[in-house]
Amino acid sequence: MTPTPPFGRDEIESILPHRSPFLLLDEVHELVPGERVAASYRVPEDGWWFAGHFPERPVMPGVLIVEAMAQTGAVAVLSEEENQGRIAFFAGIDDCRFKRIVSPGDTLRLSCEIDQVRGPIGRGKATAHVGGELAARGTLTFAVER
């Protein structure tokens, strides 16, 4: 059964296979299974990646921002009844752009709209915002494990 938004990490863990420290979502605010999702992630002050990226100027790595966007999209895909309990894998990342730095303490506002699904393969347009500013965007292709 899919939880009703808003919901937090316990419910997110009932949908996604990710766990700490790699679960990059704190709350789901909106969800239409198989269509769209809005979520958030508060970037921790002591994120495990900041010790090396970069010690003098901590910045959330772009690949982790993309991962947070992908996890957001995976909530929409894996909350569908036929996909519950499965894993969604990356199959492609297109037109990805980074527009601002994401720093410790920032809150990422994440969204993904699923725009195409054919069998186990699908695509969604994802964004990450901080304080109303676009931080990143991209088109993510996924494959749901069968």
DSSP 97-114: EE-S---TT-EEEEEEEE
- 135 closest CA partner among 94, 106, 105: 106
**Token duo for residue 113:** 């709209």
Contact residues for 97 (Cβ-Cβ < 8 A; gap 6+)? 136, 137, 138
Q: Which of 18, 29, 53, 129 is catalytic?
A: 53
**φ, ψ of residue 27 in degrees (nearest 5):** -150, 145
State yes or no: is 53 an active-site residue. Answer: yes
**Token duo for residue 27:** 């709350």
Beta strands 36-42; 107-118: pairing state:
antiparallel
Known catalytic residues are 53
